Amino acid sequence: MKEKGLLIVLSGPSGVGKGTVRKAIFSQEDTEFEYSISMTTRKPREGEVDGVDYFFKTREEFEELITQGRLLEYAEFVGNYYGTPVDYVRETLDSGKDVFLEIEVQGAQQVREKFPEGLFIFLAPPSLSELQNRLVTRGTETNDIIKGRMDTARKEIEMMNLYDFIVENDTVENACHKIKSIVQAEHCRRERVQQRYLNMLEVE
Ligand code: 5GP
């Protein structure tokens, strides 16, 4: 039997740069995983192409997909639906290829419940590690601004609980490199590799 591909989920707080990192990963020729194109009800932005950037749907069409159980996960984000087509994900994984999802955090939580064996990567804003230094060294912000930043940081740190790996988005290049290295390492994990060797013995 063919070995299944790995489900890779990249998520993280809004505005952290998930889309930019995902585009950079898929612009590299040596990237071997497949991007799962999401469905959305938001209108295409300039230059976006249906079936390339997203599958653009009406709210009615999207709700029909939900009813039919055709989405692996979905979420409403800033007034629009976003979701992952389940058939594409399952078929691609079954064919032995890795699938890459770039989704917001509520969707990632649903995927974790359905695919606990997936690889969950949290893209963290560099502001988290910069925060402490800045607060100590500058001392120029008002207490309210400092408190606001601390609250945001606390929520972002709490979100990390669901994930296997945390990658700081300090530069896009570094983040891409780390994500690809994590995927490579995951393929070498004993639990994944050992079974292949055991299967080999059973053939005898
Ligand atoms: P944008 O409208 O900027 O393309 O995307 C808005 C947010 O939706 C981003 O955080 C992006 O990661 C997320 N997103 C894109 N596709 C999906 C999806 O299929 N499911 C979920 N849950 N979020 C998605």
Mean confidence (pLDDT) of the chain: 93
Looking at residue 11, its amino acid is S
% of residues, the chain, pLDDT over 90: 76
**Cβ of 77 less than 6 Å from ligand 1:** yes
pLDDT tens digits for 58-86?
A: 999 999 999 999 999 999 999 999 999 99
DSSP letter for 50, please. Answer: B
**Cβ of 118 less than 6 Å from ligand 1:** no
Distance set, CA 135 to CA 9, 155, 181 (Å): 32, 18, 33
Angstrom distance (rounded) from CA 74 to CA 90: 16
Q: What is the pLDDT of residue 130?
A: 78
C-alpha distance across the termini of the chain, in Å: 15
Sign of CA dihedral 194, 199, 202, 204: negative
pLDDT tens digits for 106-151?
A: 999 999 999 999 999 999 999 887 776 666 666 677 888 888 888 8
Q: What is the pLDDT of residue 7?
A: 98
Angstrom distance (rounded) from CA 22 to CA 76: 21
pLDDT tens digits for 184-204?
A: 999 999 988 998 888 888 865
Distance set, CA 147 to CA 16, 51, 94, 135, 162 (Å): 20, 43, 48, 10, 25
Which residues, including other chains, have CB under 8 Å from residue 172's CB and lie 6 or more apart? 17, 20, 21, 24
Which token pair is 17?
């740069």
Q: Could you give the count of Cα atoms lying within 13 Å of 25 in the half-sphere of its Cβ?
A: 26
Cα 54 to ligand 1 centre (Å): 10
Q: What is the pLDDT of residue 1?
A: 62
Q: What is the pLDDT of residue 137?
A: 65
**Residue whose tokens read 């925060």:** 131
Angstrom distance (rounded) from CA 187 to CA 176: 17
Phi, psi of 124 (to 5 degrees): -100, 145
Pairwise pLDDT comparison (47 vs 136), residue with the higher score: 47
Looking at residue 129, its amino acid is S
Q: What is the pLDDT of residue 94?
A: 97
Mutate to test the pocket of ligand 1, among 37, 55, 72, 77 (most ligand atoms within 8 A of CB): 77
Pick 7-36+97-203's CATH classification: 3.40.50.300, 3.10.110.10, 3.30.365.10, 3.30.450.40.
3.40.50.300
Q: What is the pLDDT of residue 128?
A: 84
**Cβ of 36 less than 6 Å from ligand 1:** no
Q: What is the pLDDT of residue 149?
A: 84
Pairwise pLDDT comparison (141 vs 53), residue with the higher score: 53
**Cβ of 5 less than 6 Å from ligand 1:** no
Angstrom distance (rounded) from CA 29 to CA 77: 31
Q: Which atom of ligand 1 is least distant from the CA of 74?
A: 22
Mutate to test the pocket of ligand 1, among 7, 35, 99, 103 (most ligand atoms within 8 A of CB): 103
